[in-house]
Structure 1
Amino acid sequence: MTKPPPKPNQAAVGKRRPTVPRVSFVTDQQKDRRTTTFQPGSLSKVILEDLQSQQEHIVLAALEYLSGLFSPDASPADNSTNKTNGSTAHRSNCQHFFNMGGHGVLLVTMKRWSENAAIQSSSCECLARFIHGYNNNNSVPTTITSTTTRSSNLSNNNNNIPVTDTLLEMGIVELILGALERFPHSPTLHYRANNVLRYLDMKRLVDDFEGVTMVLKIMTTFPNVASLQELGCRFLQTSLQLGFVTAAEIRSRAILVIVAAVTGHPQHKGIKHSVGVILKRVSS
């Protein structure tokens, strides 16, 4: 037999429990970062304040925010959905970021936090997405990831500032190489730095920034990192095919390095293909 429920406290009948205000421990800044679209002025705040913060977690949050802004599924930075939407919004965001000078602030941030592996890695991811999105919206240089036909057609469009030229002049190569050297055992950084280098202008790298020396140094420094070995082999292959370097230069400087790459990674199809193309050209 079940017991009857206890009688209510007559003194409490008719009295309402006091309402306790709920306290939120989420800052306005954190709320803003959780939104899917940018509010007016939020991009300038990220550039002018968050990226230049002295606190690591704020800088990392800003970089994560920007990476989302530059991703293909991003919303327009200025909420101008009537101009761009869907997969094209991130291209407009990249253009907007560039026009505001955000690329320069990003490189300064990377230099300022040069001893912080997490910020170096996140910066590389942000840069790769930014360059890729900007190049898809403007004149495209010849990069490791672009086809010869597409690059030659689009690179004749001189209506826009080539972002890779600007970044090269501002020292992006030195920053990427410095990050790789300081954190040689970070696979995530290797992968993201690789992506940045893939989107830079190859001809300018070769002509003005000793691009061949750069990739050979990367390959000899990281012989066990397949992605960086493939990057170097593909860079040399494309440079040779497009006439940026000669067969004689490859024979005298790179043969031993590319042979070591394919020997060290015999199952890697990308490395095998690039080395095969190079050897065929230099031996003909």
Structure 2
Amino acid sequence: MPDLQPDGFVYASLSQLMALEHRVRGLSFLARQPLSSILSGNHASRLRGRGLSFDELRRYIPGDDLRHLDWRASLRYGKPFVRTFTEERDRPTLILVDQRMSMFFGSQRSFKSVVAAELAALSAWIAFHAGDRVGGLVFDDQGIQHIRPLRSRARVEALCAAVIRSNQKLSATGPDSESEHQLDTVLRSCIATAGHDSLVCIISDFSGVSAQTLQLLRQLSAHNDVIAMQVYDPLALELPQQGRLTVTQGQLQVELEVGQRQVNRPLAAFLSGRLQDVAQMLRRSQVPVMMLSTGEDPLLQVRRELGRLTDRAR
């Protein structure tokens, strides 16, 4: 691990992530009315929610929901019986956090890797205060850390600590990506882990997406509620008209004069095109997308994006 002092902008700290608990009050991935949930998407049915578990079989009482009649028991005993259910008290929330080298970049406020760390903590605290179990998969270019979902502050801290371990291994002189398809590997692992009726938050710049990524997202969202949080840098939307931009790739560093037309135009087209390609792929997956910039406080953006997506779902 490099000799560093986390400043909250290039590198995150555990205390920084844990302190976000007190800033998520009033935030929820689920609206009061299920059809207004950001997770309702294009589906006509209700949100999967936390699910129902069988409670007991008892005699019918006027006012009971007739859809819960147990016809077999009613015919057997000659009197109407109903099955009663209770809502499950929690459900698993899995947070997938990208800490690959592609995330180690930022032109304003914070690096993408730090914004992703903050978003992971915000998502974890929102889920925890909703009564859900929290866990996740933290991945970098070398591997994946698995944190099994539990409902406890200690488990949220364990997830945040895993994020910090990967975050603080990042370095401008670090090696290039060792796994071109790491995102797809993580999604496959999540599909095997999540099962059914989990909430999955994917926090990434989605570098390296492919047709296989699209297929895996659809497979994951077929049985779970999925939110994609696409982290991007403002440079992808608008390059400065003058000045110099230092680009690094492992040991190689190149300084570009962005004021020159032959540099500015192709670089701007490449960055904006890449961002649009990812956004288009995510839209095709029909997974709700929150676009989050490195240039602004993640909490303010999450609050705004939750409102935007909830309005769209109504």
**Quick check: TM above 0.5?**
no
Structure showing the higher strand proportion among its residues: 2
* Higher-Rg member (1/2): 1
Structure ranking higher on relative contact order (CA contacts 8 Å, 6+ apart) = 2
TM-score by length of structure 2 reads 0.26
TM-score by length of structure 1 reads 0.27
